[in-house]
Amino acid sequence: MRIRYLDRGVESISVWQEQDEVHLPKEGGLAPAFLPQYRALDEITRRPSLDERLPRLLQPDFLDPDLLDPATLTDTRIAVRDQFIAEAARSSGRRKAVLELAASHLEDSVAMDEEVRRSLAVLLRG
């Protein structure tokens, strides 16, 4: 058995014509270059842990930080409760029952806020 040389192949091109070349079209601009989006790749490869995701779920970005103040939150509950009571007085039927139920839930929340405030005041007094 005879082994041939492995250096066979194209050494040079003897006949070269212009139409053999690949040319870009003369009219129009070039297409925009593809640039990878690193941030999207990072989101795929580095998933946030549960400890990192929970605060974002509990405190959304669009929430006004002043609403997390206990006094502001209580004032907001009272204002919404008063609006529900006023709307329930103008409504009738099932809508009235739903608004009154919502107002009673808010009343319970306001009462619990008041109880927590009183308890904290007693604890802070010593």
Distance of alpha carbon 110 from alpha carbon 118, whole angstroms: 12
* Residues 6+ away with beta carbon under 8 Å from 81: 103, 106, 107, 110
Helix (H, G, I), strand (E, B) or coil at 75: helix
The predicted-structure confidence for 26-45, as pLDDT tens digits, reads as follows: 666 666 677 766 677 777 78
Distance of alpha carbon 79 from alpha carbon 101, whole angstroms: 16
Q: What is the average pLDDT across 87-116?
A: 93
User: In terms of Cα–Cα distance, which of 81, 73, 75 is closest to 104?
Assistant: 81
pTM of the model: 0.48
The predicted-structure confidence for 51-70, as pLDDT tens digits, reads as follows: 888 877 776 677 777 777 88
Whether the predicted pLDDT of 18 surpasses 80: no
The predicted-structure confidence for 77-99, as pLDDT tens digits, reads as follows: 999 999 999 999 999 999 999 99
Domain positions in the chain: 66-126
Q: What are residue 2's phi and psi, to 5 degrees?
A: -110, 135
